[in-house]
Structure 1
Amino acid sequence: MKTSTRRQMLALASMSMAGSVLSPPRVRAEDKLLNEIVGFTGTMLFLDARVPALILGAVRDGQTAVFGFGETSDGSGKEPDGNTMLRIGSITKAFTGQALAGLVSQGAVKLTDRLQDRLGWPVKVPERDGRPIRLIELATHTSGLPREVERSPGPPDDPFRTLTQEAYIKGLQSDPLLFTPGSGGLYSNFAFDLLAAALASSAGKPYDQLLKEIVLDPAGMKDTVLALRDGDAARVMQGHFFDGKAMPSVRATSVMAGASSLYATANDILRWLAWHLDRFSPQGTEVRLLDHAAYVPRDGLKPVSGFDEAGHMDAMGLGWIVMAPKGSRPLILQKAGGLQGIFTYSAFAPTRGVGVFAAINQFNVGAFTAMAGTANGLIEQLAPR
């Protein structure tokens, strides 16, 4: 969709960019103000970020808009839109946290269950100072596990090949804990992959089936997958390394399901955020209450590392980073991601009916910082305190 205002801005910038409006999950009138604000914000961010492509979308009171800029792959001339598939990286962790909330709401697990009792692998899970790793520690990055499991590097065309269950078992056997579980906060992919495995074991079904039942189907998500299906590759956004070179689309291994493996579209992520924002719906009420809670305040954790790249962490939820209200900015739950040359960011204000999703297709730290700040600012514009 191109408005006269956007055409004027783009003419001034001497650039040709386009956007599209995402069909809302409900049949309602188009939110012209949302289109205007998101389109203008996306234009300015793209001009500033200087990346090959950018997607910016928002949902407000059930109505949605998404705009794409640049091209999905080098030389394609194809602009990204709401149906462009991309790796969402560590936003995957918020999906895993919601799967945990779903099983807790069903009474299938407890937040305080020991990982040892739920993992179902032939390994003794390490403890420290007599304190075991519990599911809640995995979901809040307070387990004491390192960021990554130690493993041999995979080949350039299959870099994740060595990220296997066997590598994780060996990692657990190496006494990897860096602090007593629950005493500190350290961002950990290792922990979330173990959490997904423990949830699948507890449910007695493959993790992708569990995720579909608890998270994807209730939100009406059709294009969020752990592995690409036939025909999906043609609409996948190409990532780029820090030097601007294109990165190949490589497969993930099954053990990576909890931390980083998901592909999705902006359309699907906005449907997911709309589900989270529908807080008075009788469907999924218990899951939302569990999933939106702040479980571990920053105060008292020692150390605290790996949480503040997209905004200051005040508390940890189930994969969500909780940012307390500040000035005119409302309470925000947010999660960032990065994998294979794609940086993503998802955030929503649970009491204000507003959520935002953004993605760029280059590993560019400055552009990511600008993207996250812009997304948080967009929430503040649309739903100020």
Structure 2
Amino acid sequence: MKKTCALSLLVVCLIQGVHAQDIDSIVREATVPFFADGTKAGLSVGVLKNGVASTWHFGTTTRGKSSRPDNETIYEIGSITKTFTSMLLAQAVYEKKVDLNDDIRKYLKGSYPNLQYKGKPIRLVDLANLTSGLPDNLPEKMPAFKSKDKAGQLFELKKIFDVYSQSQFLKDLHLVKLTREPGLIPAHSNTAAQLMGFLLENIYKSSYTDLLKKYITGPLKMENTFVTVPAALKSRAASGYNEKGVLMPEIPKSAGSAGALSSSLMDMIKYIGHQLEEKEAQVIMAHQLRWGDPDDSGIGLNWRLKTNFDGKRKIWASGGTFGFASYSVLYPERNFAVVVLNNQNNNGSEDGLSDLAQNIYNAFYFTAEERSAEGFGFSAGVRILLDSMNKRGFEQAIVLTNELKKKDAFFKLPETELNVLGYEFLRKKEKNKALEIFKLNVYLFPESSNTYDSLGEVYEVLGNKAAAILNYKRVLELEPGNPNAAAHLKKLMNK
């Protein structure tokens, strides 16, 4: 790894000719929208460029106290843990202990005839690229909550999972019934990542914690990254809060290889710097496309992949726990990365951190004039369509798209970009424009559950209950158990 410098608040490094004062202004300006609602607790931001790290810290580690975070403050990083677990899987492949296409049952003790769908088994790669078909969490059936308050329910969940053992997990795994073929449809699954951790322990005959230390945190000298934060370092750990500022419980340690890791900003910069270099075969393996379209929405080994609007590769991961949110993104061709850690998980916090990191990147590489142009941040196809819709009307979105496709065989509209565009119009209260964009996305990607989910949401906002219900039902047909669609459908059906 290259030597880095790490400075908080006052940045004196030079990054690609940008003066330190400009860098500081870029980051501070990017954080303004994040803190705009006045509810956030603390935030740590790290920027890595050409091996040079710069850091900033805002807010507090503990509400009611003047306790600004620093480079050693420890945050829960949630699902970014899954990228660590996938690095261990890549290590096992590199050592020829496993093959990514192996049936997972090869490494499970006991018989699991249920872990296949119509003869197609779950493979190791399916655990790492989100397509296993396993439920998001085990146990699938939870006891009824006593508390009617969401915060109270999370404390009840904490108690349940604190005593949920590996043996109980494996027992419940016998009860899982797959509803679709593995390898086809990605969906968030803590179960898959937890199982991956257990399989790696079986393969190496070593604990997950020891494997992390041997292959990742030890070599990278990550001294503040733990599954369980030691008592002696608890004073460095930030407190986590929900959207109302209520203190939240710590992540249950049974989350393990799916989301139990805590880390500091400097440790995460070391980790992301190692990923950014792409020197080791294991890192390259983790960043290779395992599902989807690399130009739009691809997945590696628990890393999200796409071609950014400027043609550069973008690789990222995010995480959320009861009281924390985190986001890491790297652009290998730019030798540029951003890490953002936050100790308050508001609704949409991960998206907010993603926007913050993207705004930092945009300010580094594009002028204010370029950034203010309509359609900035979207690929050429979306910009061309926007121009056409502004001239002929958004209700012509599907017609215009078909015309543009006839004129240019290479004309392309990425699903994720259309989804982002639709939500941008929703945020600006331009509901009918959002509706037409989401309808177009369903038209172009009729087998994607997310397109129907977004269309259902805009119909719900518009007060069209019947259309919203219809679309949420379609989501559940394509992706049984989708939590967002299930929750919205339940709410609408009870009205």
Between 62-71 and 49-58, the greater mean CA deviation after superposition: 49-58
Q: Residues 7-46 of structure 1: matches in 2 within 5 Å? A: 19-20=8-9, 32=20, 34-43=23-32, 45-46=34-35
For the residues of structure 2 that align with 1:160 and 1:371, how far apart are their CA atoms?
A: 27
TM-score when scaled to structure 1? Answer: 0.81
Instruction: Pick closer, same or farther for the CA change 1:125–1:95 going to 2, 3 Å.
Output: farther
Aligned position for 1:205: 206
Which one has more relative contact order, counting CA pairs under 8 Å at least 6 apart? Answer: 1
Instruction: Pick closer, same or farther for the CA change 1:313–1:86 going to 2, 3 Å.
Output: farther
Q: Which has the larger radius of gyration?
A: 2
Q: 2:77 aligns with which of 88, 104, 108?
A: 88
Aligned position for 1:289: 284
For the residues of structure 2 that align with 1:337 and 1:379, how far apart are their CA atoms?
A: 20
Instruction: Pick closer, same or farther for the CA change 1:211–1:80 going to 2, 3 Å.
Output: same
The secondary structure found in structure 1 opposite 2:266 is helix
Q: Name whichever structure is richer in helix by fraction.
A: 2
Aligned position for 1:52: 41
Aligned position for 1:347: 329
Whether the 8 Å CA contact 1:343–1:362 is kept in 2: the answer is yes
Aligned position for 2:276: 277
For the residues of structure 2 that align with 1:23 and 1:261, how far apart are their CA atoms?
A: 34
Aligned position for 2:64: 75
> Are positions 1:267 and 2:249 aligned together?
no
Whether the 8 Å CA contact 2:57–2:70 is kept in 1: the answer is yes
For the residues of structure 2 that align with 1:244 and 1:275, how far apart are their CA atoms?
A: 35
The one-letter code sitting in structure 2 at the alignment partner of 1:324 is T
Instruction: Pick closer, same or farther for the CA change 1:138–1:275 going to 2, 3 Å.
Output: same
Q: 1:111 aligns with which of 100, 116, 131?
A: 100
> Are positions 1:323 and 2:323 aligned together?
no
Question: 1:34: how far off?
Answer: 4.1
Aligned position for 2:184: 183
For the residues of structure 1 that align with 2:10 and 2:288, how far apart are their CA atoms?
A: 32
Q: 1:314 aligns with which of 294, 297, 307?
A: 297
Give the gaps of 5 or more residues in structure 2. 1-6, 144-154, 367-376, 378-495
> Are positions 1:363 and 2:362 aligned together?
no
Question: 1:170: how far off?
Answer: 3.0
Deviation per residue, 1:43-90 (Å, 9 max, x gap) = 553345640111211111111112111110122210012111011011
Aligned position for 2:220: 219
The secondary structure found in structure 2 opposite 1:160 is helix
Aligned position for 2:364: 382
For the residues of structure 2 that align with 1:147 and 1:336, how far apart are their CA atoms?
A: 16
Between 256-265 and 367-376, the greater mean CA deviation after superposition: 367-376
The one-letter code sitting in structure 2 at the alignment partner of 1:376 is Q
How many aligned positions are there? 345
For the residues of structure 1 that align with 2:113 and 2:73, how far apart are their CA atoms?
A: 42
For the residues of structure 2 that align with 1:240 and 1:187, how far apart are their CA atoms?
A: 23
Aligned position for 1:235: 236
Q: 1:338 aligns with which of 298, 302, 320?
A: 320
The secondary structure found in structure 2 opposite 1:355 is strand
For the residues of structure 2 that align with 1:236 and 1:230, how far apart are their CA atoms?
A: 10
For the residues of structure 1 that align with 2:210 and 2:292, how far apart are their CA atoms?
A: 32
The secondary structure found in structure 2 opposite 1:226 is coil
Structure 1 vs Structure 2: percent identity of aligned residues? 26
Whether the 8 Å CA contact 1:324–1:332 is kept in 2: the answer is yes
For the residues of structure 2 that align with 1:79 and 1:145, how far apart are their CA atoms?
A: 40
Whether the 8 Å CA contact 1:348–1:379 is kept in 2: the answer is no
Question: 1:335: how far off?
Answer: 1.0
Aligned position for 2:116: 127
Whether the 8 Å CA contact 1:49–1:370 is kept in 2: the answer is no
For the residues of structure 2 that align with 1:162 and 1:183, how far apart are their CA atoms?
A: 33
Deviation per residue, 1:257-308 (Å, 9 max, x gap) = 21100000011001111111123x4xxx211211111111159xxxxxxxxx
For the aligned residues, what is the CA RMSD?
2.8
Instruction: Pick closer, same or farther for the CA change 1:323–1:365 going to 2, 3 Å.
Output: farther
Instruction: Pick closer, same or farther for the CA change 1:361–1:213 going to 2, 3 Å.
Output: same
For the residues of structure 1 that align with 2:358 and 2:219, how far apart are their CA atoms?
A: 26
Between 177-186 and 138-147, the greater mean CA deviation after superposition: 177-186
Whether the 8 Å CA contact 2:79–2:258 is kept in 1: the answer is yes
